Every structure is written in structure tokens, then in C-alpha cells.
Structure 1
Amino acid sequence: MITDKQHLEKDISDLLNKYATGTLDKQQLLKDFILSTVLYNWEDPEPEEIIPLKEGLDEIRNSIAMFKKFKYNFKISIFGSARTPIDDDLYKLTVEFSQKAAQYDFKIITGGGPGIMAAGNIGAGPENSFGLGLKLPFENNSEVFDNHPHHLTVFKHFYSRKLTFYRESQAIVVMPGGYGTMDEIFQGLASIQTGKINIRPFVLLDKPGGQFWYKFNEWVEETLGKDKYIDEDDLRFYSLCYSSDDALAVIKQFYKHFFSYFILDNRLFFQLKIKLNDQQLSELNNFAIVHNFSEFCYIRERYFNFGTLHVYSCQINDSHYCTSIRKAIDIINNFQ
């Protein structure tokens, strides 16, 4: 066996020169990926250590292929209990929300199973929704996708499945549920809080007069908040709603003027649907200075098939920037 890293890198480069497509940057990423894989093999891993890596990669690759032609479609992930029966008010509310979301051309992503998941897919219809199924001994995937198998990816592993939920969605709606639902909520909120995923609408939806999320929020405030395990501003990362219209209003308001953001080398880039006038930019910069950002400056226009985006950028000087970004988005969306 050749264990010379320099020779290995040359062999990989020769292989990619023969078979790879795309830009040089993409080829470098592939080279690093293959190099990491072979170096791992040199560490003599056991088969049971390799299998979950290979399976997870296949699951992620299959899900990326499923969503590829829907890259620019707005998508909402719905979480909730697999045990919710068809005649339950929460099931009906999920169907209603998904139907209304589909009317705005929003795609729905669910776990592809029964209960709330089936309600989300049925409401939007299989042509407007996707399932990220999970292999479980006690739960079958929904029959919604029997005639649309290309809208269903089945996972063995939670980590690759949850990665896909958050990677592909621009909003999260959570109905009442059990351990799995709580896992999805807290991983999502922790990932937003720490900047591992971008901030997005995170709606906890209950029926009118429902107590589930009210009690959840009360516990978060009274226990996590008062005991200083989270900051008060961390409560801004989710919203409580009690109707499908209210949930959709929260999502639409979040994307009223704001479109997306990304961070590159400690610089924050906002992509907006509007070009700010002098007064609006001044107001945003007054906020930025107070919250340890540099002033925003206009960078450029970007043109897409869905419209034009205006890019603004500033320097981030605060390690706790996520709540400040959330507040800045609210300021932008409140501009008239």
C-alpha cells in the first residue's frame, strides 16, 4: 500500500483531471474530499465505522438530487407527531396550513410518515411537497408519494435527514409532538443561536386556544430564561401562532423586503428585495453601530429568474451576532 501523501495527492489530481467537471474551486473541494477519505482508510477503520459514513453520504447525495431542480422554490419544513389521528384538530390545521402555503407556491417538506407529516403532504399535494422518510420498525412512510416516488427520499440516519430538513427549507413550522419533535426544535434553535444555520421563521403552531406551545414557551421563559441558560433575545428565534393565517403572516413578513444573508470572512452580506433609500440605510447603520457592526455599504445588484436582489455588506465585530442579525432583519422588513 502506498502511504505517501504527496504521491497520493498527485494520483488524485490525475484522476480528477480525467473525470472531474466544473470549476477549479469545485475540483479542489473534490480533491480534498477524496484525500480525506483515503487518509481515513490509512487509519485502518473497522467496517462498522465506515458504513455510517458511506450511508450518510449516499442519503445526502440522493436528497440533493431530489431537490436540485427546486433550488429556487421557497420551501417550508413541517415537524410534528406521527401519532396525530386524521380527525384531530391539529391534523386538520396542518392540512389547512399546507393548502394555503401551496397557494403561495411554497413547497412543503415533511418526514414522509403518518400523522402531522401526512397532513402536510396531503394539504399541499404530492406535486408540491417532499418527504424525508425514516426507516423505522414501527412507522411506515406515507402513501402520498406512491405515485410521486421522485419526491421521497428515505433515510436510515437522523443526522443526514435533519441536515436536509434545515439545508433545504427557508421556514420551519412545528406542530405539537413528542421526543422526535422536541429533538428537531432544539437542534434547530441551537443551530440558529450558534450560527450553524441561517436565521429563518421558526413557527410553533397550535390550534386556537391550544396550550401545548403556550406551556412550552412558559417553561422556556421560566426555566431556561430565568436561570440564565439562554439570553432573553434568544426568545426572538421562534414565534407562537394559533392559526394557519397567522403562521403564514409571520413567514411572509420575514421575507417582505429581506431575502437571505451569508457570512464570509467576518463580513455579513444581506440580499434584499428592495434598494434602501438614504434614510433607510442611515437607520440601519445607526442600529449596526450600536450592535458592534460596521456601517452597511451597498455592493451590487444580482439578477435571478425570480427578480433582482440588492446586496449590502458590513463587518461583524461581535461574536454574539445572531440575535443582532435577527433584529436587523426586522428593521429592514418594517421599512415602508
Structure 2
Amino acid sequence: MPDSSMVPREVTQDLRTLIADAGISAQADLVARILATGVGLGLDDADRLDLKITSAALTEMRAAFRLFAPYRNVPKVTIFGSARTKPDDALYRAASDVARALAERGWMVVTGAGPGIMQAAAEGAGSQQSIGVSIRLPFEEKPNAVVAEADNVVAMKYFFTRKLMLVKESHGFVCVPGGFGTLDEMFELLTLQQTGKADPTPIVLLDRAGGTFWAGLRRFADEELIPSGVISADDFDRVLITDSVTAAADEITEFWRNYDSLRWVGKRLVLRLRAEPTDAEVDELNERFGGLVLDGRIEKSGPLRPERDDVDKLALPRLVMTYDQFQVGALFHLIRAVNRLGTAPAGPVGAR
């Protein structure tokens, strides 16, 4: 609840009454916190620009949350790329083809709703399996016709709210060569993964056949970034660089073959799986990845108490370990090993 030292007690009580009168019962404490923060901004004498930014951001996020809500249980992939890529470019065809391949596997495709690669991906997936999160710019006045046709689009004023929605809902990412905007989005993805601020997800850097765009990035990392110590040697292990549409689509879907999701319970990492590993498979995982465990070993487990309290995916089998959080990059290797277990069924990811 709101900090009473910032918002008068009688105001917080009025907010609770207002929320109840509006008929809100679910998550009422969080709704009250949001309202109290708005009151707090007024008490802080925030200037008009600060209030306009806050108001617009909340308005945009609400609109985006409502757009995505009906598709909460549908796996999604976000495809990033340049708005300047022309339809006769091999990259345009690659983006369209990978979007089509993933749509055929039951995935929805999320894009920035603009022209170029964004339109190519929407065309490949089709209007019913595309979602657009557009940005209002002087030279990109409206979303492309594909996402507009199904009205699966929301417009944003701020890049930071747009990037939040392009990343928050997706189970995988495909980056096609582009300019500053594409590189900004790609580096933010890598930063979120490197720092553990986002759950592990597959990231594909897709190029045209024989292209060198992403290979040049890998070379720069190998020759400059890693030797200088500013990134770890395994930071690029979570990325697939390819010029194959099939390999790109497989990387996205196979990441979810057996791995479903993770949760931290105190210092313990819980991996939720689609199929329970055998004792021999768990022993093999301990032999390969025991160095990632700070105490004990990787163990099979039922839901832990906080998971039971939250009714959090109780039907799924689990692996539990005291994981070394400084080895986030290596977690991708463990997940890929889990996906190769002999009992793992094939199939798309469900709700996370």
C-alpha cells in the first residue's frame, strides 16, 4: 500500500473507497498504489511536463495491455528490423518467410507496425496473427495496412513504452539487419538477458543468404568487447546468428520444447518443464552443470510452497537448484540441455 509518510492516511482511505465503489476487487492494493503515486506526484509539486509524461505513459500502457490481453495464452515472437527495407530486398523476403513459418506453428508475430521489415513480417504472418505497436513519428504517420486490417495495433508516443510492449509479451525475438533503432532494440534485449532482468528467451539475428551484417557484430564482440572485459565470453552464447529461415524458426520453437518457465524462490531457481526427466537424466545434468550450483545439486521437485500459495503452474514437473546468479549466460546451456532430454515432447509454448 502507499507509504503513509507521503500520502495522508485519509487520502489513502478515500482511494480504497473509490476503488471499492468502482467495483474493483482483484489486485486492489496495486491499483491503490498506482493512484497514490499519482497523488504523490501532486504533493511533490511535479512540473507539468513530468505529469504529462506520467499520464501519457500510463494511458499507453493500459491501451497496450488491453490489446495483448486476449492473446495471453498464445506464444508470440517479436521481429525487429529497418523501416527502410524495400520489398525487393532479400531481407524483406527473409522477414516475411520467418514470420510465415512461425505463424504456421501457431505463433503470433509482434512488430513495430511500420513499413519495411515490420510490414514484411506482418505480411508473412497474416493480419489475424499479427500485432502492431506503432510509434507516432512525423514520417511514419500510420501503421501498415496488415495490422490495421485486423485492428490489432496500438500507437505509442514514447519509445520506452513501445519497447516495453515489444519485449514484455514475447517468447522469442528475431532481429533483421537495420539501423540505429534496430540496433538499439537488439542491444536492449542482450542487456536484459545479460543482467538477468528478463527471463531467458531465444534471440535470433537473421541475415540474408551470405550476409555479413551480424557476423560483423560477432567479430567485433570477439575481437574488441570480450578481450577488453566489458562483456563475458559466453554473453553471445544466447544468440543464434544465421541466414537460414528454417534454423531461425527452429531456434525459437525448440527453446520451448521441454522448458516452460522459471521462478526464483529465495535463493533457489525453479525450472518448470513439460516432461519430467528420469533420474539418469538428472544425474547427467548434474555432471555437466554442477558447477552452476552453489549448494547441493540439481533435484527433481514438486511445486515449492510459494508456488502452491500462488497456484503457479502446479501441474508441471520441476528442477530445483541453488543457482549461481552470476552465471546467467550458462543458464541458456542448461535450458538447451533440458530441451534435449529424451522424454521431452515437441510442441509450442503455452502461457507463461
Instruction: Give the structure-1-normalised TM-score.
Output: 0.92
Q: Where do residues 180-259 of structure 1 align in structure 2 (5 Å cutoff)?
A: 180-259=181-260
Q: How does 1:50-89 map to 2 (within 5 A)?
A: 50-89=51-90
1:277 has 2:284 as partner: no
Q: Say if 1:221 and 1:20 are closer, same or farther in 2 by CA, change over 3 A.
A: farther
- Counting only pairs closer than 5 Å after superposition, residues 92-111 of structure 1 correspond to structure 2 as 92-111=93-112
1:334 maps to 340
Partner of 2:302, secondary structure, is strand
Candidates 4, 7, 11, aligned match of 1:8: 11
Distance verdict in 2 for CA 1:240–1:130, change over 3 Å: same
Pairing 1:18–2:21 present: yes
State the match for 1:173 in structure 2. Answer: 174
Secondary structure (helix, strand or coil) at the match of 2:234 reads helix
Q: What's the % identity of the aligned pairs?
A: 28
* Structure 2 residue matching 1:176: 3-state secondary structure: coil
Other-structure match for 1:312:
319
CA–CA distance in structure 1, aligned partners of residues 168 and 213 of structure 2: 27
Give the letter for the 2:123 counterpart.
Answer: I
Please tell me whether the aligned partners of residues 300 and 312 of structure 1 are also in contact (alpha carbons under 8 angstroms): no
Could you tell me whether the CA contact under 8 Å between 2:74 and 2:108 is conserved in 1? yes
Distance (Å, rounded) in 1 between the aligned partners of 2:7 and 2:278 = 59
Report the counterpart of residue 345 of structure 2 in structure 1: none
Determine the C-alpha separation between the residues in 1 that align with 2:289 and 2:218: 29
Matches within 5 A, 1:256-267: 256-267=257-268
Q: Residue by residue, what CA displacement relative to the aligned partner does 1:113-161 show, whole Å, maximum 9, x if unpaired?
A: 0000000000111101111111011124212133212x00111101111
Q: Secondary structure at the match of 1:320?
A: helix
Distance in 1, Cα, partners of 2:327 & 2:25 = 34
Q: What pairs up with 1:288-303 in 2 under 5 angstroms? A: 289-294=290-295, 295=297, 296-300=299-303
Residues 280-321 of structure 1 show CA distances to partners (whole Å, capped at 9, x for unaligned) of: 12233445542134433411499x9x99632333333x3414
Seen in structure 2, the aligned counterparts of structure 1 residues 310 and 4 have a Cα distance that, compared at 3 Å, is: closer
1:201 and 1:147 map into 2 onto residues whose CA distance is 29
CA contact (8 A) 1:299 1:313 kept: no
Judged with a 3 Å threshold, the aligned counterparts in structure 2 of structure 1 residues 300 and 263 are, in CA distance, closer, same or farther, namely: closer
Instruction: Determine the C-alpha separation between the residues in 2 that align with 1:37 and 1:311.
Output: 41
Q: Hey, what's the Cα distance between the residues in 2 that align with 1:325 and 1:195?
A: 10
Q: Which residue of 2 aligns with 1:48?
A: 49
Moved more, 171-180 or 133-142: 133-142
Distance (Å, rounded) in 2 between the aligned partners of 1:12 and 1:172: 40
Tell me the secondary structure at the aligned position of residue 237 of structure 2: helix
Equivalent in 138, 145, 148 of residue 147 of structure 2: 145
**Residue aligning to 1:27:** 28
Name the CA distance, whole Å, in 2 between partners of 1:199 and 1:216.
21
Please tell me whether the aligned partners of residues 297 and 314 of structure 1 are also in contact (alpha carbons under 8 angstroms). no
Contact 2:7 2:40 in 1 (8 A): no
Letter in 2 for 1:144: V
* Consecutive unaligned residues in structure 2, runs of 5 or more: 1-5, 343-352
Does the residue aligned with 1:197 lie in a helix, a strand or coil? Answer: coil
State how far apart, in whole Å, the 1-side matches of 2:314 and 2:217 are.
Answer: 39
Alignment root-mean-square deviation, CA: 2.3
AA at the equivalent of 1:115 = G
Counterpart of 2:280, as a letter, is Q
Distance (Å, rounded) in 2 between the aligned partners of 1:277 and 1:20: 49
Please, what TM-score do these two structures have when normalized by structure 2?
0.88
State how far apart, in whole Å, the 1-side matches of 2:34 and 2:287 are: 43
Using the alignment, how far apart are the partners of 1:57 and 1:4 within structure 2? 20
Residue type at the aligned position of 2:249: L
Q: Out of 165-174 and 318-327, give the one that drifted further.
A: 318-327
* Counterpart code for 1:329: I
CA contact (8 A) 2:7 2:39 kept: no
Is the partner of 1:54 in helix, strand or coil? helix
> Residue type of the partner of 1:147?
E
For residues 127 and 334 of structure 1, the distance between their equivalents in structure 2, rounded to whole angstroms, comes to 32
Gaps in structure 1 of 5+ consecutive residues: none
The one-letter amino acid of 1:55's match is A
